[in-house]
Chain A
Amino acid sequence: MTAAHIGWSVLAALILFALMGPLFDPVGPFKQSLMKALSGADAAAPFGYDHLGRSMFSRLAHALRLSLLLAFAATATAAVIGIGLGALASWRGGWLDRGLALVADSVLALPALLMVLMMGVILPSTALAFWAGLAAVQWVEFFRLTRNAARSHLASPAVEAATLQGFGPVWIFRRILWPEIGPMLRTASAFGVGNAIAAIAALGFVSVGMRAPTPELGLMMVELLPSWREAPFALMQPVLACFALLLALNLIAGDRR
């Protein structure tokens, strides 16, 4: 239990920083002052400046905001779609069930990064591409969870009794399926959010993710990499933030099996 508690508190601290940071920040993430490039902390920028003299504090807070927002949005969308389709598939059965399972298995063979990259060519904005691409991959996990839980329970005497008493599918979902799916949801969502954050940073790092002035963790790392000898602390900030975020989510997720 303690590992999960540590995870929750680290995540809460990072979310708090992402939400509150910009409120105490007079400079903003885009204001350059080349005189201060790579210099250390001062009152206006408590974490120092990057290679273009922008406040690291501000950029880090905005980068975390972006990553967390995109990742939570994508995972929440995936959860709603996945659980909905999973319940529908196991309730209706037949060709619908088989068809959806086949689509899920096909998507499973495609890496998330690939889906995001392909969405990036289709959709006009990068943020939209991340949201759609990540959701398009992640719904499979929720779909499978729901379908497996529903399969064993829809045939149970409890459901049969409820149906005979005239309860509809919504009641059965809420009262019988949801208590089964709910606890597994935490693990699946934490893994989903973690994978999403890693994917956003990875694509930013290889310069096919978010575009340049946007503060984003992977992009900040690749921008600061050339000047890491002069300012190792500046490079370490996005690296540590990314690591802490992913570690926290992994701890929250616990063990998959």
Chain B
Amino acid sequence: MNTALNTIAFRLMQAAGVALVVGVMSFLMMQAMPGDMAFRIAAARYGYDLVNADLANAVRAELGLDAGPVTQFLHWMGGLARLDLGQSLVSGQPVWDEITHQLGASLQLALAAIVLSLLIGPPLGICAGLHAGGRFDRALLVVAASFRAVPQFLLGLLLIILLAVQMRLLPAAGHGSLAHFVLPALTLALGLAAASARITRDAMAGVAASPLYAFARAKGLSDGEVLRRHGLRNIGAPVVTYLGLQFVLLVEGVVVVETIFGWPGIGHALIHAVFHRDVPMVQGTALVMGLGFVLLNAIIDLIVRRIDPRGVQS
């Protein structure tokens, strides 16, 4: 139990660190922007048509923008600590509203990609690992290696050209119907599957060569039973741990893939916010992505502890 608490404490520290890094970067972004910050904030609050020097001065006085950079920085981080992300400089809406609106679409896409990759990757890895060194194993190595050399945007491009433009099977971009899910989810899933197949294969090969596996066979269990009762749980811990590390790849993929396929999610919003120099939105999306990674890994840590309760493994 103590170790579980340690894990959670570590993840909480990590979350605080993520917020700090994102906050510092966002503050620097705000400072680097040209023009008068008081004017921009006033414009975001009251609308561009109503802004005048008096309103800007009022904002300046209220937020202490005349104070030195240290005070401003503390003020900025104070807002972050209260989870007050401010308003989008483009739409004027609170950043939280915009993000909760987009997060749903991203989560759907990410979930579809994870499920799809789990259906493709680990089963192939198990097949290859059970017969390590065999023909299927070697073929899978080559295929997985070449898939890992294809970045996600390139995979998306190839899939669009092949399935959407040439064969006209699926829509190239958009959001709404089930058909729109296929290409972006497949793009994300193939990259993830290549990596997870590799990890599963190594773990499976290790377990299949271990004495416990030989013993289970020697006592007369069938192949399927050995795999189910002794194989799966043993490869579970490394594969699930690896899945947690993959989430950063997934988040990165979501940013690119959403933009390519016009998916109205958080990655799409991030790219647009960067394009329009909408710092509060950039900060909000970056924060949600970083904290999402930490939260998922905290969950993964606890799952791994359930699968393999033999104490800490680093």
Contacts and interface: CB of A to CB of B under 8 A. Distances in A.
Given A102-B17, A105-B17, A106-B17, A114 B26 contact: no
A105 B13 CA distance: 9
A209 to B, nearest CB: 11
B29 A118 contact: yes
B279 to A, nearest CB: 7
A113 B157 contact: no
Interface string B6-29: 000010011001101110011011
Interface stretch (B116-124, B176-184, B221-229, B254-262): B254-262
B293 interface: yes
Contact of A206 (B10, B22, B25, B271): B271
Interface of B: 10, 13-14, 17-18, 20-22, 25-26, 28-29, 32-33, 145-146, 148-154, 157-158, 161, 202, 248-249, 251-252, 255-256, 259-260, 270-271, 274-275, 277, 279, 282, 286, 289-291, 293-294, 297
A122 B25 contact: yes
B149 A246 contact: yes
Given A106-B18, A117-B274, A246-B149, A206 B260 contact: yes
B256 A106 contact: no
A243 B25 contact: no
A122 B161 CA distance: 36
A257 B154 CA distance: 26
Contact of B14 (A109, A113, A206, A208): A109
A115 B22 CA distance: 9
B290 A109 contact: yes
Given A118-B25, A122-B28, A247 B252 contact: no
A28 to B, nearest CB: 27
A121 interface: yes
A250 B149 contact: yes
Given A114-B270, A206-B271, A246-B149, 8 more contacts: A105-B17, A106-B20, A109-B294, A110-B290, A111-B249, A122-B28, A202-B152, A242-B151
16 contacts: A102-B14, A103-B21, A105-B10, A106-B290, A109-B291, A111-B251, A117-B282, A119-B25, A120-B274, A202-B152, A205-B260, A206-B256, A242-B154, A250-B148, A250-B149, A257-B202
Nearest to A99: B17
A117 B26 CA distance: 11
A114 B32 contact: no
A37 interface: no
Contacts of A225: 157
A121 B248 contact: no
Contacts of B249: 111
Contacts of A250: 145, 148-149
Nearest to B314: A148
A127 interface: no
Contacts of B149: 194, 243, 246-247, 249-250
A111 B145 contact: no
A76 interface: no
Given A111-B252, A202-B256, A206-B260, A117 B150 contact: no
A105 B289 CA distance: 15
Ranked 8 nearest A-B pairs via Cβ: A106-B17, A111-B252, A198-B151, A247-B149, A206-B259, A246-B149, A109-B293, A121-B29
A202 B151 contact: yes
A11 interface: no
Contacts of B279: 121
Nearest to B161: A228
B239 to A, nearest CB: 13
Contacts of B158: 239
A74 interface: no
A118 B270 CA distance: 10
B289 to A, nearest CB: 6
A112 interface: yes
A108 interface: yes
Nearest to A117: B274
A206 B153 contact: yes
A232 to B, nearest CB: 9
A114 B249 CA distance: 11
Contacts of B22: 110
A257 B259 CA distance: 33
A197 B18 CA distance: 25
B21 A201 contact: no
Contacts of B26: 118
B103 to A, nearest CB: 16
A241 to B, nearest CB: 11
Interface string A221-257: 1000100100000000001001100110111000001
